[in-house]
Amino acid sequence: MKEKPRRFLLCWCALVLIFMTSGISSGQEKPFPSITYHLSMSRPVSHLFEVSVEVELPGDFKDPSVSFQMPKWSPGRYAVFDFAKNVQEVRALAGICPAKAQCKMAPRPVRRVDDQTWSVATLGSSSLTFAYKVFGNDLSGTFSQLDERHANYNGGSIYMYLVDHKPAPVKLVIDPPSGWKIINGRTQRPGQTEWQFPNWDIMIDTPTEIAPDWTLDDFEVDGKKYHVMVHSFGAEGGKRPALVKDIEKVVRAETAMWGPPDFDEYTFLIHFAADDESGDGMEHLTSTQIIEPGALSETSVYDDTLDTVAHEFFHVWNVKRLRPYELGPWDFTKPVSTRGLFVAEGFTNYYGHLMSRRAGLWDDARFLRRESRTINGIENDPGNHLMSAEESSLSAPFLDDAPHAQKTNLANTSISYYPKGELIAMVLDLLVRGRSNGKRSLDDVMREMYDEFYLKSPSNSYYLHGRGYQPEDLLRVASKVAGVDFEDFFNRCIRNTETLPYDEAFAYVGLHVTKTALKEAFNAGLVLQFDDSRVPVIEYVRNNSPAEDAGLQGGDEIVDLAGKPLKESSWRATLARYKTGQSIPITVKRNRRTIKANLVLKETERFALKIEERTDATAEPKALRAAWLSGK
Ligand SMILES: [Zn+2]
Ligand SMILES: [Zn+2]
């Protein structure tokens, strides 16, 4: 991979350009003697985190101002959320007041420069305190929450960095409410309230939980310490000890593949939100944030948690350390643009499921059912014919939980790099295994990538050891490891939208993918939203479908279908009574108008796909399958 020069602040508007050329960004920046972040939360019910940043300036500091910037997004979630929108009451003072002291400090003028940047006039001060409040009331892996129960934060949504000084070491001091305890992936002792980080990026990679009543369980694998923090807002049903044991199984399965992880301690930060809406998982270097919408006592929630654990822990290697070129350090003034998310997320999806099998949490049948589901989702998705895996990765800012005020056609035109990448990984794994006669696997490819790019490459930035890769590097390494050229596979199935070679791949392990037309006799092209409090609404209409031919649109309220009100439980059965080519009357409401139309049904274009045993499978492919699923 050819390295490119990096810039940490891109001048994307005239105002910033003028500001920067006024001496703030003049090439090599002299480091500031110290940067200390203070976090307090004196009024949890307000959801306002109180942040102050104390900056000591060099003795010969001549610049008229210092700038602070809120990131537009944060690593792991690639939509732009503009965290600056929740910042309030920004102010600056000359000097730094020692802890607990009462100081009279002179104010310093603060000017908002753009949507994410504040500039403080130094007026000759040798040190500054920059303070603000930031609202947070979302329990998630990206945003932050402060309320009467806890503070759970992700640093990107609350901490501003100093423009041009993001690589500098930073200290963090947290002042928790009385009786609340702090924990994060870099906690070394109980009661710790201060941390030193090598740079701002590592500080925001350290999500933190502060509450009076979380629990902590520990285990050790290969000399590394693992902590499981659980904060439950619902019943646990006595399941925590079993959960911790199962998490340990996942850790053992994944470290068995990769070898020892590059940390001494790792912390799972797990919330059971019991609010039926908050759900997330986010990877970090020495921790993960996992939020489940239900309660631990519920079986489906227990299973979901382990599914997320298997995925997030795999990220310890894939994406956090073995990373696409563009993923760290980051430019937080514009959305990230990388072709590698189908590897970073998709391959992790695949291995998360495979590791659930290898850890003994799933049996073979459950793993194959799960992958059949993914094949069904992708192969029935119209976007799969229009968007490649690389293009999907580049579209992450539009796809990754992105809010859309403008109506889009993404439901018809896009695919997610998660399931698409998952299938690419599975097929590539089987091709490597089959074409190398069982001698090599995608496990070997991933280890080789980790070795080359993380362990052996010299650092190419302040942020982290090693350097990032490009998708071409994966092609090169996979071809080398398997002893077979994968250029054609990459061209067809990763850079373009050709169907993956399921037949060849699954034949190597004595399986095949069966494809049957769905039993539903219709293809109306309607995707509906049902909500008990209102009539059903069309969420979106498939392109080139009977619904589109009939002039129906997303947002239309369905008054009746075939003369009857529509029910979630029966609308498919209603349609199934009609044959292809028959016309069904439908009435919708749009913009205060009542519109009558006719749906003329087409032949179904949806299929049921399933990974199944080949009846002619011999011992050899069965042995390859056993090696694949067991990792042995
Ligand atoms: Zn909590
Ligand atoms: Zn992930």
CA 458 to chain centre: 27
Supply 311's token pair.
């995925």
Distance 269 CA to ligand 1 centre (A): 9
Q: With 80 as the cut, is the pLDDT of residue 562 above it?
A: yes
Distance 283 CA to ligand 2 centre (A): 7
What is the reported pLDDT for 64? 96
Distance 318 CA to ligand 2 centre (A): 9
Closest residue by Cα to residue 268 from 289, 296, 291, 239: 289
What is the reported pLDDT for 538? 96
Distance 131 CA to ligand 2 centre (A): 33
pLDDT, mean of residues 515-527: 83
Residue 505 φ then ψ, to 5°: -60, -50
- Ligand nearest the Cα of residue 345 is 2
Question: Strand 117-121 vs strand 110-112: parallel, antiparallel, or unpaired?
Answer: antiparallel
Beta carbons within 8 Å of 76's beta carbon, 6+ residues apart: 141, 142, 282, 283, 284, 319
Give me the DSSP letters along 206-237: S-EEEESS-EEEEEEETTEEEEEEEEESS--T
Cis peptide before 329 (omega within 30 of 0): yes
What is the reported pLDDT for 383? 97
CB 375 within 8 A of CB 609: yes
- Ligand nearest the Cα of residue 350 is 2
Question: What does DSSP assign to residue 491?
Answer: H
Give 433's Cβ-side CA count (13 Å radius).
28
Q: Work out the widest C-alpha separation in the chain, in whole angstroms.
A: 85
Distance 339 CA to ligand 2 centre (A): 15
Residues 101, 102, 106, 108, CA torsion sign: positive
If residue 356 lies in a helix (H) or strand (E), which one and from where to where? helix 348-358
CB 222 within 8 A of CB 257: no
What is the reported pLDDT for 28? 53
Distance 147 CA to ligand 1 centre (A): 10
What is the reported pLDDT for 603? 84
- Ligand nearest the Cα of residue 320 is 2
Distance 314 CA to ligand 2 centre (A): 8
Closest residue by Cα to residue 340 from 327, 351, 353: 327
Q: With 60 as the cut, is the pLDDT of residue 484 above it?
A: yes
Distance 402 CA to ligand 1 centre (A): 25
Please tell me the distance from the alpha carbon of residue 419 to that of residue 377, in angstroms, as a whole number.
8
What is the reported pLDDT for 604? 79
Q: Which residue has the tokens 């390859």?
A: 624
Which tens digit of pLDDT belongs to each residue from 493-504?
999 999 999 999
Q: With 60 as the cut, is the pLDDT of residue 20 above it?
A: no
Strand order in the sheet with 557-561: 526-531, 534-541, 557-561, 583-590, 593-600
- Ligand nearest the Cα of residue 44 is 1
- Residue 130: strand pairing partners: 53, 92
- Altogether, the residues listed in the chain come to a count of 632
CB 418 within 8 A of CB 353: no
Closest residue by Cα to residue 300 from 239, 347, 367, 219: 239
Distance 185 CA to ligand 1 centre (A): 14
Residue 383 φ then ψ, to 5°: -65, -20
Distance 87 CA to ligand 2 centre (A): 28
More confident residue, 28 or 84: 84
- Identify the band that residue 11 occupies on the pLDDT scale cut at 50, 70 and 90: very low
Supply 281's token pair.
């998982």
pLDDT-wise least confident of 246-250, 368-372, 401-405 = 401-405
Distance 261 CA to ligand 1 centre (A): 27
- Ligand nearest the Cα of residue 208 is 1
Distance 210 CA to ligand 1 centre (A): 7
Helices (H), 452-499: 471-482, 487-493
CB 560 within 8 A of CB 566: yes
- Ligand nearest the Cα of residue 319 is 2
Strand order in the sheet with 65-69: 110-112, 117-121, 65-69, 161-162
- Identify the band that residue 616 occupies on the pLDDT scale cut at 50, 70 and 90: very high
Supply 395's token pair.
């579209």
Q: Which residue has the tokens 């490597």?
A: 432
Which tens digit of pLDDT belongs to each residue from 422-439?
999 999 999 999 999 999
If residue 392 lies in a helix (H) or strand (E), which one and from where to where? helix 389-394
Distance 496 CA to ligand 1 centre (A): 43
What is the reported pLDDT for 521? 64
Distance 304 CA to ligand 1 centre (A): 19
Distance 315 CA to ligand 2 centre (A): 7
pLDDT-wise least confident of 59-63, 71-75, 301-305 = 59-63
Distance 346 CA to ligand 2 centre (A): 8
Q: With 70 as the cut, is the pLDDT of residue 280 above it?
A: yes
pLDDT, mean of residues 436-460: 97
Distance 214 CA to ligand 1 centre (A): 7
Q: Is the pTM of this model over 0.75?
A: yes
Which tens digit of pLDDT belongs to each residue from 95-110?
999 888 889 999 999 9
Distance 328 CA to ligand 1 centre (A): 28
- Ligand nearest the Cα of residue 312 is 2
CB 169 within 8 A of CB 195: no
Closest residue by Cα to residue 577 from 562, 556, 564, 592: 562
Q: With 70 as the cut, is the pLDDT of residue 407 above it?
A: yes
Supply 483's token pair.
């002893």
- Ligand nearest the Cα of residue 211 is 1
Distance 77 CA to ligand 2 centre (A): 9
Distance 327 CA to ligand 1 centre (A): 28
Beta carbons within 8 Å of 306's beta carbon, 6+ residues apart: 243, 246, 247, 250, 356, 361
State the chain's mean pLDDT as an integer: 93
- Residue 541: strand pairing partners: 526
Q: Which residue has the tokens 């889009």?
A: 408
Distance 151 CA to ligand 1 centre (A): 6
Distance 154 CA to ligand 1 centre (A): 12
Distance 188 CA to ligand 2 centre (A): 26
Distance 348 CA to ligand 2 centre (A): 6
Distance 230 CA to ligand 1 centre (A): 8
